[in-house]
Structure 1
Amino acid sequence: MEDKNPTSETEPDAQTHKKHLAMLDRLANLHQTRSSTRNQSKPEPGSLSSFLSLFSSTKLSIESDLTRLLSSDSKPDPAVAKPDLDKISTSISDLERVLAQNSYFLPSYELRSSLKSISDLKGALEKASSELIPRKKFSFKNKSALRKDPAELFKQSEEKPQSDANLPTKEIKSSPGIRSKKGAVLVKNFRVLDEGNGEFTLSDLDSCEVYIKGRIRALFINRLTNCRVFCGPVLGSILIEEVRGCLFVLASHQIRIHQAKETDFYLRVRSRPIIEDCGGVRFGPYRFSYEGVDDELRESRLDEETGNWGNVDDFKWLRAVQSPNWCLIPEEEWVDTVNASELEENFDDC
């Protein structure tokens, strides 16, 4: 019987060992990158405790004011109660603004807990208003805007709030956009930023490819199935709802995702992406290019890679362990960067 060739036995082991070492190197680099990002955004010593103390004391003061109004032996005259209710409403708005300005360093649990506290305060205010002013139903002054745009429930902010980063309050249906298309390749250019380049909507698309070049102020995405969407810088926010089996390549200051299933997101984002009621969603870095995009990203303050594409907040997952609803896309599965420089606009009926 012939002896076995020793080289043939060791070759597979050597190759496996090499692959294993390469994988360990990639994981180490990813861990270093994410650790560096967290350290850069770490607040000064005492910032967290100072915020929590301020938030707690303000919340207790608002609750005390509400209790005082409702515990009176006789209900105050509506004309007398209204200024007090307006003052409480303003206090809640101020507290919400403080939360937005400090959201970038808050741990996920504290962020969710603070959001819930504000929501509870709004509910208590509305209940008190209906009791004290029954003939004219009081509504929280921002409630109409919140109904129009769910993203307004939480205005994530940068370290210093910017007017361009505010989430839009205009109704999605009224904004220009691309709607009700199937199996189409659609290219839209916004090469000059002006007042007309405000909000843009992608709605009710099936098996489409969409390329948006240039800068816009806000993007709404609704009810997309099996679509691929590539977009240049968005100065404000992106709100995504009801998508399945899609691929998105997006750059924005704020991104919020509702009801996404089996969908990949490649992002360049200044704040942490937020997901709610999602499953099977994965995240990777921005992979879109065209002539002039680097300048547009720089002018939009999106040229820096923050690493936030991998720092996702799942607002429906309150446990300390990793949410099962999202994960990172393995580097070997990242899509190639798509270059749309040669694509010409073929859709102008917005």
Structure 2
Amino acid sequence: MATSAQSNMQLGTKERFFAYFKHEVTALQEQMERLATTAPSGGERKDAVDHCLAGIDRLSHEVKDASSYIPAYDQRTYADAIKALGEKLQKTRNDFAPPKKFQFSTARKNASAISINDAAELAQQHGSGSLHVPGYPSDASGTNSSFAPTPLDKLSPSEEKPEPDLHARVNKNLSRAREDEYGGEGGEDGNAASSSAIRKPSFSNASSITISNHTSVHILLPTSASHATSSGTVSNVRHSVVDLSPPTTSTTTNSTGASAPSPFAGLTLKNIKDSLIICGAVAGSAHVTSVENSVVVVATCRQFRMHSSKNVDVYLHCASRPIIEDCEGVRFAEVPGAYTTSDSKQTPNQWDKIDDFTWLKAGPNPHYKLLDQADRISDEVWTQTVPGGHSVSLDDILRAVGVLR
């Protein structure tokens, strides 16, 4: 009897996933059909394409995550549908892409125009009776060759190898990359490398946000990073505070005037421990995997999926039913007022209607619970402590939100 009930429950799960998949495919197809009429100016069409790409990638991950209860045949069907979506998007992009400009083909290099060192190698090959491609090591010793290359210290200035200049350029580029990562906005004290400062990476040359491999840092994404929210990833973070919300929830002002907030098309959190992650607004799905002893805030999202996580408090606004799988000790609460957006006020919030794909029994679910009002973080902590400052340390914030005891 129990086996029959479990089978019926699993069948219901597969049917729910099929209905969800069908809905998402239809939505993506409609988005692709609107691409041709989306204005290319101002990056609107590019943002729309990025949103479609993120949706296809998210759907692919969701099929993979659901492989534990979806038959192999259905998985292949889903994979074929996702592949067809990708091909349709590529065809749509090709249709409105500008025709390639005519270019003259580059003339082939004269075979006789070789360098001194190449000539020396050819001479060595002829002397040893072997033939080898110039510029690659040869087994020939070259002892029978009468052609010797000019020593490096005797080369003319135009033939000298510019190693010092190359190293200088590399060092300069590394410094510039470091500035892009942490120096664009600087810390509060002007020194982004300081462990006590709030780091504000600018991502000035990026189209997406990736924050990885950090321990004991406080990172605040500035509103100027709104151009890079096509997708976001936070991974391998320990004992830290990461706030991605400003560019996704705040109105920004630039040379062309004020612009609306720019939510992430999709967001991924992975391998995070003992941290506070404030995700901001996500237009698509928020994926959370392998997060432990942490607090996660999602201002708004269309779908929320959590895998292999434990002891996590989730403050959430989700337009659909949140999904968890292989999780323990997860506690859900409504997103605090400090992070509500105009969009979240206009859409329903199903933060408390959780579907657990690994709990097929009737009765109370031991894997998650809803946070009582008395156990939730107060508005005062969200508005006064979490933003940080000179008098508020990283540990003060983590202690205030319950990550540190």
* Superposition TM-score, scaled by structure 2 size: 0.42
Give the structure with the larger strand fraction.
1
Which one has the largest radius of gyration? 2
* Superposition TM-score, scaled by structure 1 size: 0.48
